Structure 1
Amino acid sequence: MAEDLRIITGSKDDQYHSLLPQISALLEGEQDEIANMANICAALKEQFNFFWVGFYLVKGDELVLGPFQGPVACTRIKKGKGVCGTSWAQEQTLIVPDVELFPGHIACSAASKSEIVIPIVRNERVIGVLDVDSAELNSFDETDAAYLAQIIGLIEFNLF
């Protein structure tokens, strides 16, 4: 298991390319999903200095807050509500350049300006989402979507 991250500068692609094997090393041999989600949040926050990085897990008809890095957050989100709930309902990644323009956006923090949410799909159903917020507008694109999906794929979700 890696004990430290090597933080690099450069293009977004370069940063993810460097971070992906490091996250893989962090997760190697660890079977606990909560521990792995926590380390992923910490690694993404440290490398990119995102405003907020976290997981929400499906529990019944709600997403419930899981491991995260950043300020306190909304604890429960209904399916179809806000960016996270909509990503869950639509079973697709959502990139929101300006959260103020997203219908029904849930403002856990007024400092959040843009957002990306990637659903975690196992056995053909969404079991959670990875939510990343930025304090800047237009922070996320398809590069983020592709790499964040790869990072989610590194976790073995066996208990859900």
Structure 2
Amino acid sequence: MNSVNKTRIQVLESLIKDEPNRITNLANASAWLNECLDKINWVGFYLVEDNELVLGPFQGKTACVRLTIGKGVCGTAAKEREILRVPDVHEFPGHIACDAASRSEIVVPLIKGGTLIGVLDIDSPICDRFSEDDQQFLEAFAETLVAYL
């Protein structure tokens, strides 16, 4: 990971390390990512509740409130417990369009103690916006965040 992304993770840790409230930490994490990443139009969290993904803290336009695990990009990433990087969401079977302007997406499952607690979801209006470097950074970001949730 490059030095810029290491610094970004250190800033995240400084924002959340002394705060026990999960929603507060997720809110600051989404705000921080919104500041760090260019060419995105939505960044936020969906949290597992009653076997669904329920909208949590985010930055961007209003969003879908509940997503079914196993459906769409977020639901598929949650079910598979794997990062999904989608270059063109219009080519993803079953894509759920919360914002018609979104063209690419990356979703990172949040897993704590072997339990899925939610997903980090980031959308971009640019096709193929997210790189392997972005994926590695966001995976480390999510691991750091989950350690404090």
Same fold by TM-score greater than 0.5: yes
Q: What's the % identity of the aligned pairs?
A: 45
Q: Does 1:38 align with 2:57?
A: no
**Displacement, 1:13?**
4.5
Q: Say which SS state the counterpart of residue 154 (structure 1) adopts.
A: helix
Instruction: Note closer, same or farther for the CA distance 1:13–1:114 as it changes in structure 2 (3 Å cut).
Output: farther
Aligned counterparts of 2:57 and 2:128: Cα–Cα separation in 1: 25
Q: Which residue in the other structure is 2:137 paired with?
A: 147
Aligned counterparts of 1:15 and 1:123: Cα–Cα separation in 2: 28
Q: Which residue in the other structure is 2:123 paired with?
A: 133
**Displacement, 1:135?**
0.9
**Displacement, 1:17?**
3.1
Amino acid at match of 1:111: A
Matches within 5 A, 1:59-74: 59-74=49-64
Q: Give the root-mean-square deviation of aligned CA atoms.
A: 1.5
Q: Which residue in the other structure is 1:20 paired with?
A: 9
Q: Say which SS state the counterpart of residue 63 (structure 1) adopts.
A: strand
Instruction: Note closer, same or farther for the CA distance 1:15–1:135 as it changes in structure 2 (3 Å cut).
Output: farther
What residue ranges of structure 2 are gaps of 5+ in the alignment?
A: none
**Displacement, 1:16?**
2.2
Q: Which residue in the other structure is 1:85 paired with?
A: 75
Aligned counterparts of 2:37 and 2:79: Cα–Cα separation in 1: 28
Give a deviation string over 1:41-78, Cα, whole Å, max 9, x none: 11111121421000000011210000000000000000
Aligned counterparts of 2:88 and 2:129: Cα–Cα separation in 1: 9
**Displacement, 1:126?**
1.1
What residue ranges of structure 1 are gaps of 5+ in the alignment?
A: 1-11
Instruction: Note closer, same or farther for the CA distance 1:13–1:74 as it changes in structure 2 (3 Å cut).
Output: farther
Structure-1-length-normalised TM-score:
0.86
- Determine if contact 1:20/1:151 at 8 Å carries over to the other structure: yes
- Determine if contact 2:12/2:29 at 8 Å carries over to the other structure: yes
How many residues of Structure 1 are paired with residues of Structure 2 in the alignment? Answer: 146
Structure-2-length-normalised TM-score:
0.92
Which fold has the larger relative contact order, with Cα–Cα distance below 8 Å and residues 6 or more apart in sequence? 2
Amino acid at match of 2:7: S
Aligned counterparts of 1:17 and 1:135: Cα–Cα separation in 2: 26
Aligned counterparts of 1:113 and 1:86: Cα–Cα separation in 2: 17
90-99 vs 147-156, which deviates more? 147-156
